[in-house]
Amino acid sequence: MSRSDFLRPLVISGPSGTGKSTLLSRLFLAHPDKFGFSVSHTTRTPRQAEVDGKHYYFVSRDTFQNLIQDGAFIEHAQFSNNYYGTSIQTVKDVAASGRRCILDIDSQGVRQIKTTKGLEPNPIYLFISPPNMKSLRERLTGRGSESESSIRTRLNTAVKEIDYARTPGVHDIIIVNDNLDRAYVAFERVALGDPSPVDDLPRLDDN
Residues in the interface with ligand ATP (CB under 6 A) total: 15
Candidate residues 13, 18, 90, 108; the one interacting with ligand ATP per rule CB under 6 A: 18
Q: Does the protein bind ligand ATP through residue 43 (CB under 6 A)?
A: no
- What percent of the chain is helix, strand and coil (3-state, nearest 5)? 40, 20, 40
Least distance in Å: CB of 69 to ligand ATP?
27
Q: Phi/psi at 100 (nearest 5 deg)?
A: -80, 125
Query: CA dihedral in degrees (111, 114, 119, 123; nearest 10)?
Result: 90
Concatenated DSSP letters of 9-38: -EEEE--TTSSHHHHHHHHHHH-TTTEEE-
Reported as type and span, the H/E element at residue 128 is strand 124-129
Pairing of strands 10-13, 100-104: parallel
Q: Does the protein bind ligand ATP through residue 20 (CB under 6 A)?
A: yes
Q: Does the protein bind ligand ATP through residue 139 (CB under 6 A)?
A: yes
Site string for ligand ATP, 171-190 (x = CB under 6 A): ------x-xx--x-------
- Considering beta carbons, is residue 172 or 178 the nearer one to ligand ATP? 178
Candidate residues 8, 9, 13, 19; the one interacting with ligand ATP per rule CB under 6 A: 19
Of the candidate spans 3-11, 15-23, 86-94, 108-116, the one that interacts with ligand ATP by CB under 6 A turns out to be 15-23
- Considering beta carbons, is residue 74 or 151 the nearer one to ligand ATP? 151
* Residue 174 Cα to chain centre, angstroms: 13
- Considering beta carbons, is residue 78 or 179 the nearer one to ligand ATP? 179
| Rounded distance between C-alpha atoms, residue 138 and residue 155, angstroms | 11
Interface contacts to ligand ATP, rule CB under 6 A: 14, 16-22, 139, 142-143, 177, 179-180, 183
